[in-house]
Amino acid sequence: MDPDTALEQGVTLLLLDVPQYTLLGIDTQMFSVGPAFKGIKMIPPASHFLYYSSSTRDGKDFSPIIGFFIHAAPSEVIVRRWDQQQERLVKVSEEEEERYCQAVKSLEFDRQLGPYNLSQYGDWKHLSNYITKSIIERIEPIGGEITVACESGIVTNAPKTTMEKALDEQMKSSKFLISLDNPQSRRCYYTSIPRVIKQKGIHGQELTSLNIDKTQLLESLLIKDYGGSEDVLLGELQFAFIAFLPFRTRTQLFTKFIKVIYYQLKFGLEKDHTNTSGAATGVSALLDDSWLSADSFLHHLCKDFFSLMLDASSVDGHLLSWTRKLKELLENNLGWEFQLNSAGDGIYFEEDDEFAPVVEMLDDPSYN
């Protein structure tokens, strides 16, 4: 987006006093906040989803993700300030907002604003093209904030796994959840879809048929809840997917997996272990040095994994934290170096990297 177009149409998100190391994302893009960060500029006017996870001072532990939708008009400036006590972004007063809007338009914050990555906007449009301002206002919770702390118990009648029960207990003791007046009122207002269809005067085979073929239920919902608009139904479907995406809980499995690997390697890489007989143990006694060279398959696997994780557009805070710890452990104990360069939309591989993916040029025009 050229400067003139950016000034005329681009949306600016001014985010004041956000602490360093906070994970902050917009749409399919995610960043780790640096010391000079004040927001994001050159955002296309449309519906967007902003989400963030506050960090401890060392950037190693993170709070539950909070997100909210915005519907931005051309050249609009949206201002939020970090509340240190509540550890979340809040709106500023109308007077402050007007003053900051003028400052943004005068380019006073321009050097502290990161540009929206327009190369990823195509993916976002496909994910959100039915989400309008009215759909956001219809579904968003009171206050607009969406968080797993409030949404985790949304399926109250369904059986829960051990992990889901543990998540519920964790959320009950969450600092963020305790600070909310009424977590139940902070849930999204999704349309209620009955799991079982019941109708008076219908029995037996006809009732069974209605519960197997949900065509009549769909027609009923479209008329009753969506005013006959298919686009509104699709907009809610997109809203639910986007709101769920940063909160997916399966990342807990990978976080725990990395923690297991981390502590196994931490123990194994300590070279001064001795057993009860005084014999040396640990990696130096069990493995040949070639296993731990920079040319080993393990080094290449780790490099690819770290590249994938650290360049990902959206990563759970705890998963990212433990990935960094594992990377530091290997660098400090084995002297490995991981140069995680990006080129275009993918990961950069050295030319002589035998583990790099093979790219085959196809003459068939159908592949162009």
Q: Report whether 313 contacts 32 (CB < 8 A).
A: no
The rounded mean pLDDT for the chain is: 76
Bigger pLDDT: 54 or 200?
A: 54
pLDDT at 266 over 90: no
Question: In the prediction, which pLDDT does 353 show?
Answer: 45
pLDDT at 263 over 80: yes
Dist. CA 351–CA 66, nearest whole Å: 41
Ranges 21-30, 250-259, 323-332: which has the least confidence? 250-259
In angstroms, how far is the first alpha carbon of the chain from the final one? Answer: 26
Neighbouring residues of 134: CB distance < 8 A, sequence distance ≥ 6: none
Question: In the prediction, which pLDDT does 244 show?
Answer: 78
Question: In the prediction, which pLDDT does 342 show?
Answer: 44
Question: In the prediction, which pLDDT does 355 show?
Answer: 40
**pTM above the 0.85 mark?**
no
Looking at the chain, list the stretches that DSSP marks H as alpha helix, in order from N- to C-terminal side: 3-8, 94-105, 121-128, 133-139, 148-151, 162-172, 175-179, 204-212, 215-224, 230-244, 251-268, 283-286, 297-310, 317-334
The pLDDT confidence band at residue 139, using thresholds 50, 70 and 90, is very high
Question: In the prediction, which pLDDT does 346 show?
Answer: 35
Summarize the confidence of residues 306-333 as an average pLDDT: 78
pLDDT at 178 over 50: no
The pLDDT confidence band at residue 344, using thresholds 50, 70 and 90, is very low
Question: In the prediction, which pLDDT does 104 show?
Answer: 94
Highest mean pLDDT among 84-88, 297-301, 345-349: 84-88
